[in-house]
Structure 1
């Protein structure tokens, strides 16, 4: 079976650390894939907050996740601090991909790579809409599409 290959951004411009809780473990005793998805969502939320954006309303539009890909490289256990480095790739008229590099041991061990695709949706029509200028303006200049 072919493995999914994720294209990493040229640079990650945001990072956050999240500690793995005991309740994040699966019956095998390591971080469960369902909980990893929750941690990725937390990291994405933190990223948007750092840009001073509320993903429930950016320029009148809401962020809607369109897909998720995660490739696992190592296990993670309770009390480990995971570093989530965040970047953006594949901008299009309606959205982009948020890319995550997740490591432990001060970046020495790659735990996972992930991406969440997203689009902006006009809540009044329920239809996809162009990326709001407020989002573009919140990005560092060298990351703007």
Structure 2
């Protein structure tokens, strides 16, 4: 199987550091892939909070993750400080891609590169909806490249 290659954004929009907990480890004593996905979701949540967007529900609307790709570059262990850099790319009519670069601090060693595609979703209609104007405008320089 061919290795996945992720394109990184020109700049990341948000950075957050998370300290690895003992409960994030698997039997190999490093962060398990399931826990890394949870940590990516936490970074996504904090990014959306930072930009003032409620990802859970905004007038009956929220986001839904449509796909996920993660490439693992190194192990991380309990008490490691992981820096999550979050960027946006590839806007389309209904959503965009969140790009993550996760590095150990203070070394800067890359642990994971990941992408989460998402769409906006109307729960009353049970269907996808176009990217809200206020969200598209907030990231106009990125959205206009689509």
Q: TM-score, normalised by structure 2?
A: 0.93
Give 1:17-96 correspondences, 5 Å limit.
17-58=17-58, 60-96=60-96
The residue that corresponds to 1:135 in the other structure is 135
Question: Are the structure 2 counterparts of residues 47 and 107 from structure 1 closer, same or farther at C-alpha, using a change threshold of 3 Å?
Answer: farther
Number of residue equivalences: 144
Question: Are the structure 2 counterparts of residues 58 and 8 from structure 1 closer, same or farther at C-alpha, using a change threshold of 3 Å?
Answer: farther
Paired residues of 1:25 and 1:31 also in contact (CA < 8 A): yes
Question: 1: distance between equivalents of 2:13 and 2:103?
Answer: 15
Give the superposition deviation at 1:133.
1.3
Question: 1: distance between equivalents of 2:44 and 2:107?
Answer: 19
Question: Are the structure 2 counterparts of residues 79 and 131 from structure 1 closer, same or farther at C-alpha, using a change threshold of 3 Å?
Answer: same
Ranges of 4+ aligned residues in structure 1 off by more than 6 Å: none
Q: CA RMSD in A?
A: 1.4
The residue that corresponds to 1:14 in the other structure is 14
The residue that corresponds to 1:115 in the other structure is 115
Question: 2: distance between equivalents of 1:74 and 1:17?
Answer: 17
Residue ranges of structure 2 left out of the alignment (5+ in a row): none
Question: 2: distance between equivalents of 1:39 and 1:12?
Answer: 17
Give the superposition deviation at 1:15.
0.6
Paired residues of 2:83 and 2:103 also in contact (CA < 8 A): yes
Residue ranges of structure 1 left out of the alignment (5+ in a row): none
Paired residues of 1:56 and 1:62 also in contact (CA < 8 A): yes
Q: TM-score, normalised by structure 1?
A: 0.93
Point out the more displaced range, 87-96 or 1-10.
1-10
